[in-house]
């Protein structure tokens, strides 16, 4: 949009840019800057307009974007242009991701490069390498306590290794996702050290207080994220003799985004990684970016404005790069991280579907889809040009973040139901096969979350110990059922490393003092490559899971109905054990795929005629696209074996 105030400022800024920037050919940069400058200017002035150095700060911001544009290599600029033309590229059903720790998966970044074949064998074409930046060895929070935003920790490798990996992936048409921890730094970061040494400039990078007055005000409404290991939200630093805000661990200092210098530094960091070949940047803990006394300091309007501003700036320099919002918050709040707009994502194009994840675990524990169905019905429609990241497990705990209203509608009492789920997954009930551990138990509120690997939570560990083949097979089926859901729901499925071979809990973290207090380490395994090798051994657990997931990925990629265009319709079935939805392909005329999942341990039936006439879907001649066979029928009823799923197409397809 053209607007005089912003435009005349832009003219002034362009005249003031450093001579070496002015000399460059910045044609595409200027076009994009012109297109986005009105938005950038209004957001930036909303956040920082009352400062006397406002104009100077805008100049610095534009210089940052321009310098990173100049640095961006030709190949990446070409990709930017291609993605501008094909702007729906990331909604395709052909993308399937995996998240992994470089050291856990393969020792280091070179190890990851050497194992790309394995990922390709499974069908993965988007790789999220968990944080590899410099961080203290012990107080690392699994890499989320960064002490240098622009360098790789020697434990993982070098910047050169990232370059090699990103080039290797690009040659194979695979996408690279990297983290940017935007909310906080390690207390060992240079900014924190300089703050500690008394430099005001760097104390202003954080929320630093002389005494407890303001911290106490904040504490009245702030929840605790890690109540067991890091109670409270402020940490006293004896050298600085001040309190720093530390919402996560006591060694993670929250950045102060009311200071434009922090914002500009972070834009530079985002663009730095965009220029190192990241196709997608995962923005960590985005809900927490803005702090306000009297609130829970999550989901504040300014946090959204900061994300919009990040997006607008990134679009000027590296428009092909997407953002993932890691906002593990209430269902109605998560969706807002796409940015509130009619069509396009103004903040992050992709968001973790934490609601769906937690609901899937609910269905496993209850053996029915009542709450799953209810919760998904109430999930607001996402924007057209935005997509979910659908996952079963990740490196974090499982938080039961669904809505109380939905729990009640499904016929449960919220407190009792959440307690039941935590007890079920942490082995409190003798008849539960799950082997999880509680995480983040808060004695004051009674809340708790759940740690554990997919296989151990689902019952595979207990089944293997029992030696009972029927139980083992049931666990394998449940693992495949959950994968079938994230593959067909709409969005990018993100498999967590190790789950493709049924990796059990890893209890070795208990021997390491720095890790023992954080049960999330039980599901951050070292890949056992001998175990992975058993994927080739017919009948092994590894083979059954790996082949199942591999086949699912291949089939998913061939089903255009599974692309994500808000083309999912939940169907009423009258059978609470089944989760049933139809996927359409609006661009392909009549294309439809009926997805059915049975969460019960007994076979269930579905009266197809009750589903109604769904665009003349031919219920009498169904074929399961996953198995290639006709599904089981009894008269006109579809029979769904225990923990089984179907991806049904009618015979015309």
Task: List Cβ neighbours of 574 (8 Å cut-off, separation of 6 or more).
Answer: 607, 610
Minimum distance, C-beta of residue 361 to ligand GLC, in the bound complex (Å): 17
DSSP-derived secondary structure for 204-225: TTB-EESSSHHHHHHHTT---S
Residue 617 CA: distances (Å) to CA of 29, 33, 581, 583, 630:
49, 48, 13, 12, 15
Residue closer to ligand GLC, measured from CB, 285 or 608: 285
Rule CB under 6 A: say whether 209 interacts with ligand GLC: no
CA distance 624 to 641: 13
Q: Identify any residues that bridge with 234 across adjacent strands, giving them in sequence order.
A: 245
The order of strands in the sheet holding 637-640 is 604-607, 637-640, 633-634
Residue closer to ligand GLC, measured from CB, 113 or 298: 298
Tokens linked to 212: 């407890």
Minimum distance, C-beta of residue 192 to ligand GLC, in the bound complex (Å): 15
Kindly tell me which residue out of 80, 103, 108, 141 binds ligand GLC, with binding defined by CB under 6 A.
141
Rule CB under 6 A: say whether 284 interacts with ligand GLC: yes
Residue closer to ligand GLC, measured from CB, 234 or 599: 234
Per the residue annotation, which of 141, 284, 506, 564 is the catalytic one?
Answer: 284
CA distance 388 to 326: 11
Tell me which stretch binds ligand GLC (CB under 6 A): 136-144, 586-594, 598-606, 630-638: 136-144
Residue ranges of alpha helices (H) inside 197-339 are 200-203, 213-219, 260-275, 301-317, 331-334
286 DSSP assignment: G
> What track of x and - describes contact with ligand GLC for positions 177 through 206 (by CB under 6 A)?
----x-------------------------
46 DSSP assignment: H
Rule CB under 6 A: say whether 624 interacts with ligand GLC: no
CA distance 169 to 496: 18
25 annotated active-site: no
CA distance 301 to 87: 27
Minimum distance, C-beta of residue 326 to ligand GLC, in the bound complex (Å): 6
Per the residue annotation, which of 326, 447, 500, 624 is the catalytic one?
Answer: 326
Rule CB under 6 A: say whether 136 interacts with ligand GLC: no
284 annotated active-site: yes
Binding to ligand GLC, residues 297-326 (CB under 6 A): 326
What φ, ψ does residue 553 adopt, rounded to 5°?
-65, -45
Kindly tell me which residue out of 105, 144, 206, 253 binds ligand GLC, with binding defined by CB under 6 A.
144
Contact between residue 126 and residue 96 where contact means Cβ atoms under 8 Å apart: yes
Q: Under rule CB under 6 A, how many of the chain's residues touch ligand GLC?
A: 10
Residue closer to ligand GLC, measured from CB, 489 or 521: 521
CA distance 410 to 330: 17
Minimum distance, C-beta of residue 317 to ligand GLC, in the bound complex (Å): 25
Kindly tell me which residue out of 111, 142, 401, 603 binds ligand GLC, with binding defined by CB under 6 A.
142
Task: List Cβ neighbours of 19 (8 Å cut-off, separation of 6 or more).
Answer: none
CA distance 431 to 434: 9
Burial per residue of 157-195, b for 16 or more beta-carbon CB atoms within 10 angstroms, e otherwise: beeebbebbbeebbeeebbbbbbbbbbbbbbbbebbeeb
Tokens linked to 514: 């720095």
CA distance 107 to 101: 9
Binding to ligand GLC, residues 322-381 (CB under 6 A): 326
> What track of x and - describes contact with ligand GLC for positions 231 through 270 (by CB under 6 A)?
-----------------x----------------------
Residue closer to ligand GLC, measured from CB, 96 or 180: 180
- Cβ-closest position to ligand GLC: 144
CA distance 502 to 485: 17
> What track of x and - describes contact with ligand GLC for positions 93 through 132 (by CB under 6 A)?
----------------------------------------
Kindly tell me which residue out of 285, 297, 307, 580 binds ligand GLC, with binding defined by CB under 6 A.
285
Minimum distance, C-beta of residue 616 to ligand GLC, in the bound complex (Å): 45
Q: Which residues bind ligand GLC (CB under 6 A)?
A: 141-142, 144, 181, 248, 284-285, 326, 395-396
Which residues are tagged catalytic? Answer: 284, 326
């Amino acid at each position: 949009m053209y607007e005089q105030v912003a435009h005349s400022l832009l003219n002034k800024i362009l005249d003031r840019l450093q001579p070496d920037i002015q000399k460059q050919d910045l044609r595409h940069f200027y076009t994009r800057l012109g297109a986005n400058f009105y938005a950038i200017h209004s957001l930036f002035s909303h956040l920082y307009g009352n400062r006397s150095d406002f104009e100077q700060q805008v100049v610095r911001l534009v210089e940052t974007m321009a310098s990173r544009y100049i640095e961006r290599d030709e190949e990446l600029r070409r990709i930017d242009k291609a993605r501008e033309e094909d702007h729906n590229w990331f909604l395709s059903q052909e993308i399937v991701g995996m998240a992994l720790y470089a050291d856990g998966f393969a020792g280091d970044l070179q190890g990851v490069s050497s194992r790309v074949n394995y990922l390709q064998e499974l069908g993965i074409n988007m790789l999220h390498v968990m944080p590899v930046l410099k961080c203290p060895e012990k107080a690392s929070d699994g890499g989320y306590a960064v002490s240098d935003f622009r360098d790789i920790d020697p434990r993982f490798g070098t910047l050169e290794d990232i370059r090699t990996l990103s080039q290797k992936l690009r040659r194979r048409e695979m996408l690279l996702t990297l983290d940017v921890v935007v909310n906080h730094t390690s207390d060992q970061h240079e900014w924190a050290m300089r703050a500690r040494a008394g430099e005001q400039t760097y104390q202003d990078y954080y929320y630093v207080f002389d005494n407890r007055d303001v911290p106490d005000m904040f504490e009245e409404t702030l929840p605790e994220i890690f109540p067991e290991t890091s109670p409270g939200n402020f940490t006293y630093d004896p050298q600085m003799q001040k309190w720093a805000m530390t919402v996560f661990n006591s060694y993670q200092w929250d950045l102060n985004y009311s200071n434009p210098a922090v914002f500009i530094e972070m834009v530079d960091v985002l663009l730095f990684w965009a220029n190192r070949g990241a196709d997608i940047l995962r923005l960590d803990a985005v809900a927490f970016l803005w702090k306000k006394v009297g609130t829970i300091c999550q989901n504040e309007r300014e946090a959204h404005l900061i994300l919009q501003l990040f997006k607008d700036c990134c679009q000027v320099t590296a428009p092909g790069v997407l953002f993932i919002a890691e906002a593990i918050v209430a269902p109605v709040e998560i969706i807002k991280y796409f940015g509130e707009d009619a069509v396009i994502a103004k903040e992050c194009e992709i968001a973790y579907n934490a609601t769906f994840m937690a609901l899937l675990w609910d269905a496993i524990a209850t053996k029915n889809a009542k709450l799953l169905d209810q919760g998904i019905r109430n999930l607001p429609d996402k924007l057209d040009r935005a997509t979910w990241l659908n996952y079963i497990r990740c490196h974090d705990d499982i938080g039961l973040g669904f809505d109380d209203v939905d729990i009640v509608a499904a016929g449960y009492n919220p407190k009792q139901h959440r307690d039941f789920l935590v007890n079920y997954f942490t082995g409190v009930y003798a008849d539960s096969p799950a082997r999880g551990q509680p995480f983040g138990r808060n004695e004051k509120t009674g809340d708790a979350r759940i740690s554990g690997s997919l296989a151990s939570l689902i019952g595979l560990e207990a089944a293997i110990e029992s030696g009972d083949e029927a139980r083992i097979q049931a666990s394998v089926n449940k693992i495949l059922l959950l994968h079938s859901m994230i593959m067909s729901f709409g969005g990018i499925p993100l498999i967590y490393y190790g789950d493709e071979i049924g990796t059990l809990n890893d209890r070795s973290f208990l021997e390491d003092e720095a890790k023992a207090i954080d049960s999330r380490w039980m599901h951050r395994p070292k890949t056992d490559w001998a175990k992975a090798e058993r994927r080739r051994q017919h009948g092994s657990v590894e083979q059954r899971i790996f082949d199942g997931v591999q086949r699912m990925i291949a089939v998913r990629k061939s089903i255009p109905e599974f692309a994500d265009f808000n083309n999912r319709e939940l169907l009423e079935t009258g059978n609470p054990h089944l989760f049933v939805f139809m996927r359409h392909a609006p661009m392909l005329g009549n294309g439809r795929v009926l997805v059915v999942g049975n969460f019960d341990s007994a076979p269930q039936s579905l009266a197809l005629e009750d589903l109604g006439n769904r665009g003349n879907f031919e219920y009498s001649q169904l074929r399961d696209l996953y198995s290639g066979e006709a599904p089981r029928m009894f008269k006109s009823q579809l029979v769904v074996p225990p923990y089984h799923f179907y991806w049904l197409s009618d015979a015309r397809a």
